[in-house]
Structure 1
């Protein structure tokens, strides 16, 4: 706003290190992501992409260094988690809840209201809303996880392998849903092995290699 302080970057990391046991996973990571930007995170298996997403979601505490999410210190886990949604590669759903119950629960956790039936319809799961997640196929679980991220539309959304376990129509749907989040001003970080798909939504590309993050 004119005359006011500029909004904080959505993500800021300064010389961030993470050691798990004897292994160093992240090495001096520096990162600035403006609010609303889309970032594709590239790297081989085991490069640390999933770990970095978990750090940004305050699920892992850095060994050394500083980090902020929408101005909140990463050590303030409650504030960070209120602003962030992490969609893990395994979808992170509750297997004994139905599809609709999973979405209702996610909304309740964030104190939000939302159109659960509409979200299920958006991902072609309207007919299985009452089915427990444990009885869904891997592709259906991924669609449900995408519906949850789309329904929540948290200011920072972190997505791990959104195109895995999806056929061509499912991948097209994932592109649409994630693209709509960008249009709504969500800051999006996508870790993916399909750079051409991810960068169509999140054009800035970063690469993790040996725990070091660089512009791709």
Structure 2
């Protein structure tokens, strides 16, 4: 029998999330078909990062149900095997070099990949042997993007990928995220630059007051 959830990368049904006394999400419902890209908009503090953490099994819903590729969000091990979260700060290991960060990520996911090749593609071949803590904010962003591209998890969540980058860096982000979509990855991009994100992921959602609503791109 065909799994009715298999066609969806993400499904949320009436999901509420409370952190302490604050209600972050209020009855959020979402269907993200496999292979689709979504741009997530919202003001600072609206809960975009929190929603990404919930989808990556870093947080559990207070109420409601959620699935990633058919796996219940409460099954954190299965969800984490299917998903990659690129946080706004990159989520790198500061004492590992750029190359070591990428090789460690591959080992964690039991994958193989062309580490020197992806470092060249993001313009970091000369910095491959430098510890991540000594890289600039823009270089760390490029390294985190290289890791997401190398892993190419079925569901990839990206938090503010255009921050701390110049025009060339932003164009590279668009190129690599578009490549991920072309490889069949489902993308959810939280961004403050709607036009840049929508060029990769036209479907647009806005989070405000804990509610998630569909929005028509301008």
- TM-score, normalised on structure 2? 0.96
Aligned CA-pair RMSD = 1.0
1:58 aligns to what SS in structure 2?
A: coil
1:109 alignment counterpart = 108
Within 5 Å, give how 1:27-106 maps onto structure 2: 27-106=26-105
**Aligned-partner Cα distance in 1 for 2:169–2:7:** 34
User: What do the CA deviations read for 1:72-110 (whole angstroms, capped 9, x no partner)?
Assistant: 000000000000000000000000000000000000110
2:199 aligns to what SS in structure 1?
A: helix
1:193 aligns to what SS in structure 2?
A: coil
In the TM superposition, structure 1's runs of 4+ consecutive aligned residues that sit over 6 Å from their partners are none
2:162 aligns to what SS in structure 1?
A: coil
Structure 1 runs not aligned, ≥5 long: none
**Aligned-partner Cα distance in 1 for 2:136–2:191:** 21
1:176 alignment counterpart = 175
**Aligned-partner Cα distance in 1 for 2:90–2:202:** 23
2:45 aligns to what SS in structure 1?
A: coil
- TM-score, normalised on structure 1? 0.97
Aligned residues: 214
Residue 8 of structure 1 and its aligned partner are, at CA, apart by 3.0
Structure 2 runs not aligned, ≥5 long: none
Residue 34 of structure 1 and its aligned partner are, at CA, apart by 0.3
1:194 alignment counterpart = 193
1:124 alignment counterpart = 123
